[in-house]
Amino acid sequence: MPRADLRWWRPCQSRVPAAAAFLSFIRSLEAFEVELLLGQPVGIFVYSTRIYDFVRQEPPRLGEATALGSVFLVVMLGLALLYQAHLRGRQFTTVTGSAYATRPLRLGAWRWVAAGACSGYLTIGLAAPLIFLVTGSFMRRYGFFQIREPFTLAHWQAVFQDSIFLPSVWNSLLIATGTALLVVLIYSLVAYVVVRSKLPSAGLVDLLAWLPWGTPGILLSLGLLWLFLTTPLRTLLYGTLGGIVVALLLKESPTSTQLFKAAYHQISRDLEEAARVSGASWLTVYVRVFLPLLAPTAVTIWLLAFASSIRDIGTSVLLYSPQSRPLSILMLEYSFSGELERGSAAGILITGLVMALMLASHWWTRQAA
pLDDT digits (tens, 9 = 90+) for 297-339: 888 899 989 988 998 888 888 888 889 999 999 988 888 777 8
CA-CA-CA-CA torsion sign (191, 193, 195, 199): negative
- Residue 4 banded pLDDT, cuts 50, 70, 90: very low
Q: How far apart are CA 65 and CA 47, in angstroms?
A: 9
Cβ(350)–Cβ(311) under 8 Å? yes
pLDDT tens readout for residues 103-149: 677 777 888 888 888 888 888 877 887 888 888 888 888 777 777 87
Q: Look up the CATH architecture of domain 153-368.
A: Orthogonal Bundle (1.10)
Nearest-CA neighbor of 218 among 42, 324, 72?
72
Reported as a single tens digit per residue, the pLDDT across 77-103 is 777 677 667 666 666 555 555 555 566
CA-nearest of 351, 361, 250, 359 to 296 is: 361
Whole-prediction pTM: 0.75
CB 297 within 8 A of CB 260: yes
pLDDT of 99 reads 56
Radius of gyration of the chain (CA): 23
Instruction: Look at residue 151 and give its three-state secondary structure.
Output: strand
Provide long-range contacts, Cβ within 8 A and 24+ apart, for 361-366: 361/299, 361/303, 365/299
**pLDDT tens per residue across span 233-248:** 888 888 899 999 999 9
Question: Using N-to-C axis directions, what is the helix angle for 253-265 and 241-251, rounded to 10°?
Answer: 50
Q: Which helix (H) or strand (E) holds 283?
A: helix 282-285
Bond before 17 cis per omega within 30 degrees: no
CB count, 10 Å around CB of 122?
Answer: 11
Beta bridge partners of 151: 139
